[in-house]
Amino acid sequence: MSHTNFCVASEQDKAEMLKAVKAKSFDDLFVDIPATFQTDAFNIPEGRSELEALQTLRGLAAKNANNITSNAPVGGNRLYRIRVEKQ
């Protein structure tokens, strides 16, 4: 399979995935789901570029209340401490 940051699969990747789960097509993966729960009418917005997605996620993350700081280097074990603000 391709190793990227994206959910992109080549035709060969798709064929390998289907073979691994012993399915002939992706539709075969949904045969056990009742037709009343299957739809093509999902209200999903257009895709975004990686940069747009990261900007959106960073904006959402900035809205989070954060009183925890990390004292560990990137990739190291994370040791956290609570930051108490005096009033």
Are 17 and 9 in contact, with CB atoms under 8 Å apart?
yes
Nearest partner of 17 among 33, 5, 29, 32, judged by Cα: 29
pTM value? 0.37
At residue 41 the predicted structure's pLDDT band, cuts being 50, 70 and 90, is confident
**Tens-digit pLDDT profile for residues 12-40:** 988 998 999 999 998 888 889 898 888 77
Average pLDDT, integer, range 43-57: 86
Residue pair 30/40 in contact by the 8 Å Cβ criterion: no
Going by pLDDT thresholds of 50, 70 and 90, the confidence category of residue 87 is low
Is residue 82 helix, strand or coil? Answer: strand
pLDDT band at 3; cut points 50, 70, 90: very low
